[in-house]
Every structure is written in structure tokens, then in C-alpha cells.
Homo-oligomer: A and B are copies of this chain.
């Protein structure tokens, strides 16, 4: 066979010498970058946990600390904008450790020429989201770069929260037998952004689910049965499950027909050829909960607004450690793997 006619599929996405979009996707390339570059260079016990936040002792207080850059395009999308996302995203990363979010920082990188009106709307939205989440934006920075050196506006928020005594929630704490609970429907945020970007006909009918989750978490941890929490943002529910399976060295089994995907979101995914399991959420969490308390946790969730569609979607098991298996709607079983590259660029 003539080698010239061999098509490689999927197309190679990296020459290993340059950064490609996939390095920011939350998939395998992202994980490689963290493992091969950041971990060795910064090596410390906190980073090594690979949680979405670090929990440490500062003086006599136990704190959570996290950071995220937001580069979403467009800046405004159905159901929200980059400002709300930047506040809620960091509030949620703190909440996923069981911490009470307290203080946020906000650093703006602005492209010269951005309309003051646009910036103002984003900043107002941040103030409103902060008040809604009960946090204060207490310090910040503004840099302006020349036209063409950035895409309108990037926002990096960091946050500090207080971890209550006795709380130990981490992706590495999951036990075989734990129930896996998701707080609601998946893929809304990613598809809200994508539908606008692709000019799809359902544009505007799908809204981002951006929301702060600290109250939901507060209700859940009162039960004392929560082992791990993740907000399945970039990379979607599938990525969060893979990360937890790996961090806790447990197997995960979920049932596809228990995972709620709204009808219009499913339609949008089909049009674009995307798997909703890998599409970003910005107001959902997945919890790993001791089986005997799982009913109590679910009940507490169902009483909150952000958890009103909560449901058990599967469980952690001892076998096939590090691997996520999904029972499909037609009764088969498939392996859910981290995507190598990215499905959805710049959705957060």
C-alpha cells in the first residue's frame, strides 16, 4: 500500500514542540501539561492533589484558594456573560472543597478599543454575582494590551474561602460503594455558547446554567457524608468522572439513561456532533457520597433551587480502578475516556 495514501485519523494535533488548543481543553493534553511541566516545576503537596482548589492552613485558619482565567467568546451569551462566569466559577471551585467562599480577586486583561459600555456591563454583572454569592471582590488589577494582542477581554478571578472544621472533601477521598449524584441537567452552558457562535436556529433558546453552588454545597455537607465534589465545567461530566476515578483509584459505573440532558440541548449536540457528557456546565456539581447517607444528601439537594433536579447516576466500585464505564441507553457498556484534544474551545 502506498504510504502517501495512508490517512491518519484522528489528525495529529500536536508536534510536541508547540502549544495547541487541546492543551487548554481539560482533556488528556491538559493533564499531560500539568503532569509533565507544572507539577515538576512547582512540586508541592497541595498541587499534587490535583483538586480544583488548594486547601491549606494559614495561621490558625484552614483555607481554600483557587484561580481561573476566563476567555469565553462571545463575552455575552444566552443566560450570562464572562463577568458572571468569572465570579460563579471561582465561587464554585471554592465550594467544591466544602469551603465557605469569602473573598475574590479580579484581574482584567483588556484589548485596546474595547467599548467602555461592554466592560461596564461585565463589571456590573460581576458585582451583582458577587453580592448574590455573598463574596466581596477585594483586590484587582487592570492591564490593557494593544489592538490584536488579546481578544477583547480576559478575566482571571482567584478566591479565598474558609474550610469548616472537620470537613475533608477531595477528589482523592472517594470510597468504593459511594453513590454518584449529579445536581441537574448537563451541557447547558457549553451549548448555550456554541449555539450563538455557530448561529444555530435554536440560538437563544438554550441558556447557560451559570450559578453559584455554595448554598447547595452547604446543605449537602451538613450531612457529613460527602467524600468528593466537582463542578463539571470544561471537559464536562465525563472529564470530572475520569479525574476522580484516577485521583481516588476507584472504578466508576454510571447509567446513561439517568443523566439528564434537556431536549433542546441534546438536539444542539446532535447537530454539532458533540457528546453532552463532554460539554461544559457552569452551575452543576457531581458528588460522591457514602451510600448509606446518599438518600439524606439527595433529599437536602432537592430542597435547594440549584439541586432541584438532582439524581443518583451511578456508583464508585472497587474493580477497574481509574476507569469510567457507562451503561448506554441500548444496554451496552462503553468506556468513558478523557478526550485527547478539545471538543469545545473557549467556552469558559
Contacts and interface: CB of A to CB of B under 8 A. Distances in A.
Interface of A: 16-25, 30, 33-34, 37-38, 41-44, 46-47, 52-54, 56, 58-63, 65-71, 102-103, 105-117, 119-120, 123-124, 126-127, 130, 136-146, 148-151, 154, 156, 158, 160, 162, 345-346
A67 B21 contact: no
B115 A54 contact: no
B137 A65 contact: no
A140 B56 contact: no
A111 B83 CA distance: 22
B346 A107 contact: no
B67 A112 contact: no
Contacts of A42: 106, 123, 126-127, 130, 136-137, 140
Given A138-B44, A142-B33, A18 B115 contact: yes
Contacts of A149: 71, 150-151
A123 B38 contact: yes
A214 to B, nearest CB: 15
Nearest to A142: B24
B41 A126 contact: yes
A103 to B, nearest CB: 6
B21 A144 contact: yes
A148 B71 CA distance: 13
B63 A58 contact: yes
10 contacts: A42-B126, A42-B130, A46-B103, A47-B136, A56-B103, A60-B60, A67-B105, A67-B158, A68-B141, A107-B156
